[in-house]
Structure 1
């Protein structure tokens, strides 16, 4: 698989920027396009990812990657819709004897519940049950309602990665509810960048892996997803219009810390990496919320 084109949002020299990530550093494209497009969401919405990428041709980097603070790629995404229980072994973890569901389980996350690549996940004082969930996220680039599965890929602009960090005890506070366990400030991460979507080979059968302190905890392939990417776009767009900048977080494999016996929760100093073929590696540490 060829090296991906990578567009990141980041903070450097006192302001938020976006640019093309190369092996040598980051080419700042916000200096060229910032007057037209405030951030990558606006770039996606305008359908000009190829134009923005082309502007980096032949240029030297403006910033070293280790000298910037990465932000979540889309600063103000529209809807962030997450998919639960979307790998066969993940369904088996529930041990309820039920077959894989015919329809995806969905819930909502807010942008402020995520932090960027290289930033710490925050463990709040109210719970020590911070867990990880490595996932692939798709960025919608073309609006649509009741999108047919065969047309779904025409509506995807880019791909990114997500650590869908979860406070496990807080997802059990009510009879049927996960919202409060999924939306603690900076409990999850997204990034490191977006990779423009070209074709089905980028999604249909790629490896997704999560490591904690170098140990592989989750590993599976997208070809084994219960509800594929086309089905997810079609299903979600049935009940709500998808708009450019909306994000679908598409499900995590088996192996989260909650499923160990006894459970293994993230603690300060841990390093969590989510990696997917052709997209990259999202890396975060863990720290307690400052008092």
Structure 2
């Protein structure tokens, strides 16, 4: 099943994707939204409610929001594919621990919504990534049971303003948090069983040109390790999002760099999860 947050008929809503439409759950349940469904383990109730249902809205009638609009934390992983480490050309060995940073909810938009190119920089870049949505929360989660804490999967274009990532010596926060500079969506693909994650295939296109392609199984720090490691220092909450890193091929790694421009289209596809697509628009 695919769980979605969206805006339609003048209000924010959530529902289940059925074919090319959405069955609206906003006024049919006691859940306040997607995060509440995750926290209260409500999928069995929703599946029963949706059995035989017909959509209330077509997908082309709604405004997509990020799947968990009120997530407590959005934790992002840097340099998590072997070729990405080599891209830095610094001769370094593979990292012993993951590079992590936080992003605000406002730095992301939903599927189909414009990603904003800020006036302060011409160096907006794309990064296609898998998103893990935490179901059962916890602290110091053992690696051997970490996959049991996954609620589902989504997709991210983890847009980055490259020159602002170099404003300071030890952080990338500024360049990773411009308002509406990235996207997450279009929905959460809810996992029945936490198996087959390594079979996922990620591709990113810019204006139809394939720029990134890799398999999730090649990540330096796999999903079970990330959940274990991150939960060591912070309590993971239901609905938290872990953005797991991007393969080689982002615009900054070309010579000369190939940053995004007004009117460009970025499409990220992960097999079995879906397609996330956004156009780039100059911020006014």
Alignment partner, residue 249 of structure 2: 255
Kept in 2: contact 1:41–1:77 (CA 8 A): yes
Kept in 1: contact 2:165–2:176 (CA 8 A): yes
1:6-50 Cα deviation digits (max 9, x unpaired): 1111111101111111223111111212xx221101111111123
Are 1:72 and 1:189, in contact at CA under 8 Å, matched by a contact in 2?
Answer: yes
Following superposition, the deviation at residue 205 of structure 1 comes to 2.4
Instruction: Tell me, yes or no, if structure 1 residue 83 matches structure 2 residue 77.
Output: yes
Q: 1:258 is paired with a residue of what secondary structure?
A: helix
Verify the 8 A CA contact 2:18 2:54 in the aligned structure 1. no
Deviations 1:102-155 (A, max 9, x none): 110000000000000000100110011110001011111112111111100111
Q: Which residue of 2 aligns with 1:129?
A: 123
Q: 1:270 aligns with which of 251, 260, 264?
A: 264
Kindly indicate whether the alpha-carbon contact (under 8 Å) linking 2:34 and 2:68 is maintained by their aligned counterparts in 1.
Answer: yes
* 1:62 and 2:56 are equivalent in the alignment: yes
Q: Deviations over 1:247-269 (max 9, x none)?
A: 11101000000001000111111
| Aligned 8 A contact 2:203 2:212 in 1 | yes
Which residue number in structure 1 is paired with residue 168 of structure 2? 174
When normalised by structure 1's length, the TM-score is: 0.95
Match of 1:186 among 180, 201, 206: 180
Asked whether the 8 Å contact 2:133–2:241 carries over to 1, the reply is: yes
Structure 1 runs of 4+ with >2 Å offset: 198-202
Alignment correspondent of 2:17: 21
Q: Does 1:221 align with 2:215?
A: yes
What are structure 2's unaligned runs of at least 5 residues?
A: none
Partner-residue secondary structure (3-state), 1:181: helix
User: Are 1:39 and 2:33 matched, yes or no?
Assistant: yes
For residue 102 of structure 1, the aligned residue among 93, 96, 103 is: 96
Give the whole-Å Cα distance in 1 for the aligned partners of 2:216 and 2:179. 28
User: RMSD of the TM alignment (CA)?
Assistant: 1.0
SS at match of 1:89: helix
8 Å CA contact retained: 1:27, 1:56: yes
Report deviation, 1:202: 4.1
1:117 maps to 111
| 1:239 and 2:233 aligned | yes
TM-score (normalised: structure 2): 0.98
